[in-house]
Chain A
Amino acid sequence: MTEGKIQPKSASTVAGSLDAKDFVTMTVADQLFGIPVLTVQDVLGPQRITRIPIAPPEVAGALNLRGRIVTAIDVRRCLDLPARPENNRGMNVVVDHLGELYSLIVDSVGEVLSLPGDTLERNPSTLDPRWRVVSGGIYRLQGKLLVVLDVTRLLDFRRAEAA
């Protein structure tokens, strides 16, 4: 296991505490993403989603989570990725943002990983601007990279468009 290895070059690491953070991992178009576990309320299987016409394209619709209306966000759309294949109805990761619930529709949800805060690396400068905005940093795991999703920025479509 090498993913926990501390980088000698402090300039390339984002200042963070030593204590580990837990992330819910998920994949979107084969890319691994992570969201801090504390911001995740629920993980749901495929849901009946009501389309919301004339909403921003990133909004997949609305769904009913135990009596609360949750706005579903298509993460693939947010990241300018092609639509999910027909046979994948996606998973819903429900997050709380400023008291409102949003469901991030991803391809699949994986395990919860505990990652030390000080191994978080900055976004590479070559990252697509659309991605750079929503990425809160990168973790190097064995064999793959995990992008930390910044939910606040992900939900701020206007900024995403401006970027």
Chain B
Amino acid sequence: MDDLLREFLTETTESLAALDLELVKLEQNPNDPGILGNIFRLVHTIKGTCGFLGLPRLETLAHAAENVLGKVRDGELVVTPEAVSLVLASLDSLKAILSALEQTEAEPAGDDADLKASLNAFAEGKALPAAAPVETKAASKVEIAAAAPITAAGPVHSAPEPEPALIEAAVERLALAAEEPAVEAAAPVTSAEKPAPKDLQEAKESAVAAQSIRVNVSLLENLMTMVSELVLTRNQLLQILRSQKDSEFAAPLQRLNHITSELQEGVMKTRMQPIGNAWGKLPRLVRDLSLELNKKIDLQMHGAETELDRQVLEMIKDPLTHLVRNCADHGLEAPVERKKAGKAEVGRIALDAFHEGGHIVIQISDDGRGLPVDKIKAKALANGLASEADLATMSDQQIQQFIFKAGFSTAAQVTSVSGRGVGMDVVRTNIEKIGGTVELKSAAGKGTSFVIKIPLTLAIVSALIVECAGERFAIPQISVLELVRAQAGSETTIEWINNSPVLRLRNELLPLVSLRNLLKLGERKTDALTEAFIVVTQVGTNTFGIMVDRVFDTEEIVVKPVSPILRDVSMFSGNTILGDGSVIMILDPNGIAAATGEAASSEDTHAEAASAQAGASHERVALLVFRAGSEAPKAVPLALIARLEEVDSKTIELSDGKPVIQYRGRLMPLVGMDMSHEIKRDRRQPILVFADSQRSMGLLVDEIVDIVEDRLNIELTTGRAGYVGTAVVAGKSTDIVDTGYYLTQAFSDWFGAKGAAFGEDEQKGKRLLLVDDSPFFRNLLAPLLSAAGYAVTTAESADQALGLCEAGHDFDVIVSDIEMPGMSGFEFAEAVRKSSRWQDTPLVALSSHATPRDFDRGRKAGFTDYVAKLDRDALLQTLIQTTAHGSNAA
């Protein structure tokens, strides 16, 4: 049986039982408004839930009963035994329908027309003819009996037992009714009718009601706290046990250990429910909305199995419903409008739920029109929420935040669905009440998404206990990928780029953060500098290492929220008590990532990423400084280098007169910085390894000097082959090596051509946006283009580039790759052409496929020109032409 239905049955059965009692009380005290109010509320609830579940028969009947009660409550009718009987009879019918529902999972056929008619008649104040209620009840009973095949069929004929007092009245009337001509038609089944209610009731009580009981949440909360304490005590005992060999406590303690774990799990389960329970009604809601609003809506739900605390679930139900409703009503456009905008007719609303570092993240997004900034501005002005001057200084994102203010609705027309100006503020308040946050992202024409983040305040998680500067900390195991021990002289050593430590981990350079520095725990002793444990941590798509002094074992911990006065300290997600009774802080990997500048998640906020990217040529770039040939320092962007190797020069061989080396099972060509580079036989040879996806080459250098982070401003360009120009790096003028040149030395086909026209003065300061998903090409082209005088900004995806557009950046020319994951270059071009800001910006396509057909397609998509990816001459020429055109056109 459907969980929802089961819950409904349990709840409604309870309500009906309560109603029976209340009604009898009411009959005794007809003027007690408290009882009446209670009855009215119960019936109303039943009606509401029936309607919600799509049970029309129950709903209409409950509605009719509610009507009568409403009149009584409003004083229009007086409580009479007839009225009570009538309502009781309808309750009995409800019960009977419920039992049938429980057995067959469907409402039995029938419409209770007579019963409803007499209820309605009564509500209108018409005196009932003495026989009327009798008659109607009989009729309805008959129907019910017929509709409950199991009970009607069987042995019930034999021994009708005394009815429970509450329905006795109805039954008596039934007996009477048997004599009435009106029910004669139904006579064949009346024989079964009398025992039926009784039997139905029994079935009901045994089946559903007995299988679940309601428990006060605070009781569960207490249980949970006690289990948490038990877990801690168990941990303590186990710790003591570990220090004692051959203790006779070992076996019973192991058993206690298991039982505690199971108990803990069990109690946790009592409180945890899949978020799908809160989503259960959404498909229906969306379906109804799509009919009402004449929109086509596809609701996608992912992660329904993500479990969260029941209390939290209850709290987010309404905000979720509200947000989905908003998406459907405000967010999604009508099919016609969507078609015009070049979107699929069917609008999409997506719900995603997942766990992330001790939080539950729920995303609600639509692909609709996005939040209308202009309208919000106007509304904010009209409501006096901000002045014109305030608004002028605000970013679009800040302006969009106004929708969370009370009394704010941008819907031009108030529809029955939403737009009454209550809502978003309530949504935010409700979420914040449970310690959550709600974030809003919206892009005009592309959609809106809300990200709700709720902390798991009550949870037992396993955590890694580490030590740093004598203090212990817990790191949630879920975000720990692996542990690495770094030691001087061993394979894994910590290296420093300026002041940033990094670790070579397999094929990657892993950024490291020092917990000591991060938490300001004081200076580390110098002798410890070379040795550390590194906790490789993953947050979203980012991986980084946390340097700690020691690593202990893993412990089950009860996450307790930090005290409110520490809420601003983002580095901790909670604290806990360890087995030895000491308090320990739980590190929040998200907070650490944020504090170290790693974006908390890959596409956290477009605007942030965009503003970080803007003015990229002023950004600091990590450069590898080395010496080769002459004493003058040379540098190359570190990002271009795949690895730094030091090989025994004896292993360098010659092939076709050129040096090669066996490297990772393949032959790797080596290129000297100067043609005259001599490989000194008697020492180890440092090599900078460059790699594309398949190929790699080594650049022979004399000495690797340093890795520095500096702004890469090429101040002098040079005509020398192999150099991009000269820049000041770490206070010294340094030649920036043109890696492309050497790559072609190794593989003549690495690029299409060599050499480039640098120093076009008229290109000075032209703003260029480079969109390419490959960091290799980005890093290769950015210095090249900036050498040619462009102010280069890079974006690693079309989405990011469009983010820059939305953030208000302008460019003189855009260079974009075609093959990119996600939005391709063609789609990007179309999007750019559609945008208002960039529609006239020249757009140059870069592609490794440069057939005439591709060219055509590019043109059609909106590209101004199309250049083969590796033809730098052509690229620079094209750029000069297109920007000239662009400025002419402007």
Contacts and interface: CB of A to CB of B under 8 A. Distances in A.
Interface in B732-750: none
A55 B560 contact: no
Nearest to B229: A67
Contact of A62 (B519, B521, B564, B583): B583
Contact of B519 (A50, A54, A59, A100): A54
Contacts of B575: 62, 69
B541 interface: no
A63 B563 CA distance: 12
B584 interface: yes
A48 B520 contact: no
A128 B520 CA distance: 30
Interface in B541-576: 560, 563-566, 569, 571-572, 575-576
B798 interface: no
A44 interface: no
Contacts of A51: 471
Nearest to B563: A71
Interface in A45-63: 48-56, 59, 61-63
Contact of B564 (A55, A67, A69, A98): A98
B569 A67 contact: no
Interface string A144-158: 000000000001010
Contact of B571 (A48, A54, A59, A62): A54
Interface string B577-601: 1000111110000000000000000
Given A50-B471, A53-B520, A69 B565 contact: no
A28 B167 CA distance: 74
B566 A71 contact: yes
Contact of A67 (B232, B519, B521): B232
B577 A64 contact: yes
Contacts of A102: 563
B520 A54 contact: yes
Contact of B582 (A48, A52, A54, A157): A48
Contacts of A56: 565
A51 B569 CA distance: 14
B577 A69 contact: yes
A71 B520 CA distance: 20
A51 B471 CA distance: 7
Kindly state the interface size class of chain B when it binds its partner: 20 to 34
B584 to A, nearest CB: 6
Interface in B818-870: none
Interface size on A, as a range, is 20 to 34
A59 B572 CA distance: 15
A135 to B, nearest CB: 20
Contact of B565 (A59, A64, A67): A59
A52 B585 contact: yes
Contacts of A67: 228-229, 232, 577
Given A50-B583, A69-B560, A69-B575, A55 B569 contact: yes
A67 B519 CA distance: 26
Given A62-B585, A64-B581, A54 B560 contact: no
A89 to B, nearest CB: 16
B250 to A, nearest CB: 26
B673 to A, nearest CB: 46
Contacts of B569: 52, 54-55
Nearest to B232: A67
A22 B325 CA distance: 56
Nearest to B585: A52
A38 B565 CA distance: 22
Contact of A52 (B229, B472, B566, B576): B566
Contacts of A55: 566, 569
B582 A155 contact: no
Nearest to B228: A67
Interface in A9-54: 48-54
A64 B565 CA distance: 17
B563 A50 contact: no
Nearest to A61: B583
A101 to B, nearest CB: 8
A96 to B, nearest CB: 12
Contacts of A63: 583
Contacts of B583: 49-50, 61-64, 69
Contacts of B521: 53
Interface in B653-696: none
A56 B565 CA distance: 9
Given A54-B519, A69-B560, A157-B565, A64 B582 contact: yes
12 contacts: A53-B471, A54-B520, A54-B571, A55-B566, A59-B566, A62-B585, A67-B232, A67-B577, A69-B576, A71-B563, A71-B566, A100-B563
The 4 residue pairs across chains A and B that have the minimum distance between CB atoms:
A53-B519, A71-B563, A62-B583, A50-B583
Interface of A: 48-56, 59, 61-64, 67, 69, 71, 98, 100, 102, 155, 157
Given A50-B584, A54-B571, A62-B585, 5 more contacts: A62-B563, A63-B583, A64-B583, A67-B232, A71-B563
